[in-house]
């Protein structure tokens, strides 16, 4: 029998006794599509368990319980923030923070501050969840925390935090640009490219030389193409065409990447002329 036909109780029992991550998420996915009050209350009860595994199951189901607008959204948010006051298990805290990340569009100032209190926690799981929870929140305290995390010792934390301040918000000020500049030489490739894209999005003309450097080095991904289009500087066209020419007859280069390069050249050519970039654009705070 398909798991879609299993009862809520059977799925919950399987989750509690699950040993496979694949089937775990399949069972959670089915339960998320059954947003009844009875199941909601069962999940809340799980979040109160002494067993961290059960708490995590309840949280993971409630994280995306029902289709937007989610029928128990406000109640779930309250559950999550109440749990933040007492939870100490790092993996459960990560699940909580990820759950909030799926529902963070209308958080109030007090809730944002509650999240940011984890900014100095050095646990990898908690930092990962915190970055996720703050993505897309255009708030000074949230941005300050992401800026701090953009220089974290762990590359995946730096990457996501830089992505958060670079492209997930539109705010443009000196502190954001400085944080992005601090990452344009990052040893982690994706973090470096996210920083470049964030600066290009803010029309910081100084990033043009960094883009040229990356084009000459030849070790870059499609994020750089996004940055080039964002910067809207046609003086980059000769550099792109040089890269395209050097890529011909090279069977080691991914065909899809070459097509993205061609599309970047085409899109840049089609942009209106005389668009200028500046690092003196009026910032917002």
What Rg, from alpha-carbon coordinates, does the chain have?
A: 23
The mean-pLDDT minimum among 140-149, 229-238, 242-251 falls in 242-251
In the numeric block, which tokens belong to residue 269? 């050519």
How many CA atoms lie less than 13 Å away from 233 in the CB half-sphere? 23
Helix axes 90-101, 52-63, angle to 10 degrees: 10
In the numeric block, which tokens belong to residue 116? 């940011």
Q: Where are the chain's structural domains?
A: 1-149, 187-285
pLDDT at 275: 47
Q: What is the pLDDT of residues 20-46, one digit of tens each?
A: 888 999 999 999 999 999 999 999 999
In the numeric block, which tokens belong to residue 24? 């775990």
282 band by pLDDT with thresholds 50, 70 and 90: very low
pLDDT at 259: 95
277: left (phi > 0), else alpha (psi -120 to 50), else beta? Answer: beta
Average pLDDT, the chain: 94
State yes or no: pLDDT of 156 exceeds 70: yes
Average pLDDT rounded to a whole number, residues 192-205: 98
State yes or no: pLDDT of 72 exceeds 50: yes
**Residue (of 104, 160, 105, 102) closest to 127 by Cα position:** 160
Distance of CA 225 to the CA centre of its chain: 19
State yes or no: pLDDT of 188 exceeds 60: yes
Q: What's the CA gap between 202 and 215, in Å, rounded? A: 20
Write the secondary structure of 93-141 as one string of H (helix), E (strand) and C (coil).
HHHHHHHHHCCCCCCCHHHHHHHHCCCCCCCHHHHHHHHHHHCCCCCHH
What is the percent of the chain with per-residue pLDDT over 70, rounded to a whole number? 95
Which uninterrupted H or E stretch holds 247?
Answer: helix 237-247
State yes or no: pLDDT of 246 exceeds 80: yes
278 band by pLDDT with thresholds 50, 70 and 90: very low
Structure-token match 């289009």, residue found: 229
Question: CA angle, 191 as apex, 118 and 208 as ends, to 5°?
Answer: 130
Q: Three-class SS of residue 4?
A: helix
Average pLDDT rounded to a whole number, residues 123-147: 98
277 band by pLDDT with thresholds 50, 70 and 90: very low
**Residue (of 222, 217, 213) closest to 257 by Cα position:** 222
Which uninterrupted H or E stretch holds 230?
Answer: helix 223-231
User: CATH number of 1-149: 2.120.10.30, 1.10.150.120, 1.25.10.10, 3.40.50.2300?
Assistant: 1.25.10.10
Average pLDDT rounded to a whole number, residues 243-265: 92
State yes or no: pLDDT of 273 exceeds 90: no
Distance of CA 196 to the CA centre of its chain: 16
The pTM of the whole model exceeds 0.75: yes
224 band by pLDDT with thresholds 50, 70 and 90: very high
pLDDT at 250: 87
Average pLDDT rounded to a whole number, residues 74-93: 98
């Amino acid at each position: 029998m398909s798991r879609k036909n299993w009862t809520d109780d059977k799925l919950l029992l399987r989750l509690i006794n699950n040993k496979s991550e694949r089937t775990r998420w399949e069972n959670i996915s089915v339960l998320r599509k059954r947003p009844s009050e009875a199941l909601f209350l069962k999940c809340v009860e799980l979040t109160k368990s002494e067993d961290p595994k059960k708490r995590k199951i309840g949280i993971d189901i409630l994280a995306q319980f029902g289709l937007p607008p989610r029928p128990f959204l406000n109640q779930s948010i309250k559950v999550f923030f109440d749990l933040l006051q007492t939870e100490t298990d790092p993996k459960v805290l990560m699940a909580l923070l990820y759950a909030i990340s799926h529902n963070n569009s209308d958080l109030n100032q007090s809730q944002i501050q509650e999240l940011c209190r984890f900014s100095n926690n050095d646990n990898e799981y908690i930092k990962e969840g915190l970055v996720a929870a703050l993505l897309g929140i255009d708030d000074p305290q949230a941005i300050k925390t992401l800026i701090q995390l953009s220089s974290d010792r762990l590359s995946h934390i730096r990457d996501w935090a830089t992505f958060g301040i670079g492209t997930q918000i539109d705010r443009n000020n000196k502190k954001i640009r400085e944080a992005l500049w601090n990452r344009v030489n990052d040893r982690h490739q994706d973090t470096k490219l996210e920083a470049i894209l964030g600066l290009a999005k803010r029309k910081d003309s100084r990033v043009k030389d960094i883009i040229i450097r990356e084009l000459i080095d030849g070790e870059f991904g499609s994020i750089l193409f996004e940055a080039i289009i964002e910067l809207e500087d046609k003086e980059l066209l000769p550099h792109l065409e040089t890269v395209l020419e050097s890529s011909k007859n090279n069977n080691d280069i991914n065909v899809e990447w070459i097509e993205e390069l061609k599309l970047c050249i085409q899109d840049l050519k089609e942009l209106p002329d005389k668009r200028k970039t500046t690092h003196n654009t009026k910032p917002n705070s």
